[in-house]
Structure 1
Amino acid sequence: MEQNITQTSRLAWLGTSQPLLVAYFPVNDPLVPLDLLQVYDAAGVDIVEMGLRASNPTHDGAIVAGSMLRATGTGAVSDAFEVARRVRGFKRPASAILFAYTEAPLQQAREEWREIEGLLCLGADQAARRLVMDRARAQGTRIVEFLPYAFDEADIARAVAAETYVMLHYSSGQTGLRDVLDPHLAPRLARLRAAGVRQPIVPGIGISTFDQARDAVQQGANGVVLGSKTILKAQEGRQALQDYLGQMREVLDHG
């Protein structure tokens, strides 16, 4: 298996003063063609979150879950190889993170993790989740820590020890579209920083509007994660996705 990932590309998003734009891309979703990754590149997406097929995406709302359920492929790590390869070919530095549930195909992966820069792994079976993360980490894949909205001391400890950016639940509940601002984001971020979290903290789940992204950065977040709205815009077509991601990049950079 060809090894294309360098240490530089693995760390491309760390230590930057520019707000991070993390955008979801559904792997093998027949409604979202691969060539739309060109739009992500042109818009200045920093991290492409590659959503893998899942048969029971319990943490996701109708839009993301629907995409995962209709995706082709087997849900194996190798399904994401082509997306990861294209992201490594972006004109500007970018990274590809795999978002996946701990279903059987993921648990079988071993050397395949060499092709994946980072992993955000969800699943109710904590033993299976630890197994997947340990095997990924053994091949050099960095683990993205996810913190729930109401995080506790154990969650904070995970964030302090994070290997890359920390994804913070912006709005309670499943993924999906909301238009409200989180009034508690600033104190939640301050609590994490006071506890010693040094990696970028990037809110996601419930962020889709420009006002939400602007407010998140003003409150001290290091960027935003876009999911459901990205899928919808991709289904509308190239121009709609380009307008959305391009304007979001402008909002993050200039307010």
Structure 2
Amino acid sequence: MSRIARRFQALRAEGRGALIPYVEACDPDFETSLALLKAMPEAGADLIEIGMPFSDPSADGPVIQAAALRGLAAGATLAKLFDMVRAFRTDDQETPLILMGYLNPVESYGYERFCADASAAGVDGLIIVDMPPEESGPLERFTKPAGLDMIRLIAPTTTDERLKTVLNHASGFVYYVSITGITGTRSASTEDLRAALPRLRAATDLPVVIGFGIRSPEQARNASRIADGAVVASALLATLAKTLDADNRKTDTTVSSVLSQLRDLATAVRAA
């Protein structure tokens, strides 16, 4: 059983959903992003998404776009991201790690090499935002042997027929994009989420997590009750950005501010 499957099984036994925070690799620098990554489980993260910085993150709003550009300015590469994961795994062998990003850097790195290096470092799953299932065969040839889950995105506009196609290529969990639009710009209502989830539950046995637009502890609590987990990204990155100096360098409050916010989110999710 994979780390992702074990974690969701354990959470089901606890009777609660997962909190899944997001950290952008090398934002605002390698050491700070690694410090955040290492501290997130103790602050309440059940799984963690790591952003792969890319210059044109088309599905992301301004907050994540800015984080990606800061990461690239700090020298982010996939090799450095794998260094982060290896460093994390020296102390934590249980928390699932998911890489989220776009196909261009993966293709440039080489599919086979990418999957082998990601697996060896300790990555558990991939979310490749701009890779439709019909075109994923060349990558999936290597993800399955490497033990990497391919996590698929489902939108409010996904038709029943399309849902079948996407889920046929999904493993790990299903990521429900709760809004039509880019990340961090608005939020779906609790009523909208409650209406959307039964269709997904009927179509798959995989856990379903909700992302895009979850900012507050209340929203995280509600999403984790309705689904199997809540992803919080832009809200944490916005907090990080506010702590940086004029040159986008960390300050004494950068790590502590993000972790404090994460603890508040975790408290709400656990109360659910």
Q: Secondary structure of the equivalent of 1:244?
A: helix
Q: Give the letter aligned to residue 167 of structure 2.
A: A
Equivalent of 2:199 in 179, 191, 201: 191
1:81-132 deviation digits (Å, cap 9, x = unpaired): 1232244345583111011201054451312242321000122677764423
Alpha-carbon distance in 1 for matches of 2:169, 2:136: 17
Match of 1:174 in 2: 182
- Tell whether 2:259 aligns with 1:242: yes
Contact 1:44 1:92 (8 Å CA) reproduced? no
Which stretch shows the higher mean deviation, 130-139 or 50-59? 130-139
Which deviations, in whole Å up to 9, do the C-alpha atoms of 1:46-66 show, x marking residues without a partner? 111110121211111111112
Structure 1 residue aligned with 2:248: none
TM-score, structure 1 length as denominator? 0.85
Secondary structure of the corresponding residue to residue 97 of structure 2: strand
Question: Are positions 1:132 and 2:139 aligned together?
Answer: yes
Structure 2 contact 25–33 (Cα < 8 Å) conserved: no
Unaligned runs of 5+ in 2: 244-253
TM-score under structure 2 length normalisation: 0.80
Check if 1:102 corresponds to 2:99: no
User: What is the aligned-residue identity percentage?
Assistant: 22
Specify the alignment match of 1:34 in structure 2: 34
The one-character-per-residue Cα deviations of 1:19-53 (angstroms, maximum 9, x if unpaired) are 11111110122255321223302212111111012
Task: After TM superposition, give the deviation of residue 143 of structure 1 in Å.
Answer: 0.7
Aligned residue identity for 1:29: D
Q: Which residue of 2 aligns with 1:208?
A: 215
Q: Which has the higher helix share?
A: 2
Q: Does 1:145 align with 2:162?
A: no
What residue number does 2:247 align with? none
Aligned amino acid, residue 45 of structure 1:
A
Q: 1:133 to 1:174 in 2, by over 3 A?
A: farther
**Structure-1 residue corresponding to 2:7:** 13
